[in-house]
């Protein structure tokens, strides 16, 4: 019986994003636009995985690009079992009312300790009265 190759794992890990403008934390007159984003990582693979690191590319409406790298997410390096999901909320602060975020997670297959990347598709951050 052959085992599925770890290279197939990224196709079995799905990332959903729900962005939201945080009006009460923002100060548009001061060029401060706060967004939260809730991420759900779904592990549809037959393996447990651990989310080890994150990489974000944040492109502001002004064209300014910021890259953020770090260990885990929200201070954790969660292990996500087969068929399970992990959900967290984080924030981004922009200098304008629109931007785009995209990135990837570095994960490991906990059985083989082999690392793999999971792409996070671009998603839009848009404040009030912005065209979506």
Of the listed ranges 66-70, 84-88, 94-98, 124-128, the least confidently predicted one is: 124-128
Task: Decide: 17 and 102 in contact? Cβ < 8 Å.
Answer: no
> Is the alpha carbon torsion for 90, 95, 99, 105 positive or negative?
negative
- The predicted-structure confidence for 30-75, as pLDDT tens digits, reads as follows 999 999 999 999 999 999 999 999 999 999 988 999 999 999 999 9
Q: pTM of the prediction?
A: 0.88
Instruction: Report pLDDT for 7.
Output: 55
Comparing CA positions, the residue from 107, 7, 89, 90 lying closest to residue 51 is 107
């Amino acid at each position: 019986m052959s085992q599925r190759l770890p290279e197939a794992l990224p196709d079995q890990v799905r990332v959903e994003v729900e962005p939201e403008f945080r009006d009460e934390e923002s100060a548009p007159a001061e060029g401060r636009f706060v967004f939260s984003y809730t991420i759900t990582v779904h592990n549809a693979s037959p393996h447990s995985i651990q989310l080890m690191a994150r990489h974000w590319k944040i492109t502001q409406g002004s064209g300014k690009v910021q890259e953020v790298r770090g260990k885990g997410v929200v201070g954790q390096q969660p292990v996500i079992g087969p068929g399970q999901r992990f959900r967290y909320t984080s924030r981004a602060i922009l200098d304008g009312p629109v931007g785009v975020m995209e990135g990837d997670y570095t994960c490991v297959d906990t059985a083989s300790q082999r690392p793999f990347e999971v792409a996070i598709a671009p998603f839009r951050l848009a404040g009030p009265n912005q065209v979506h």
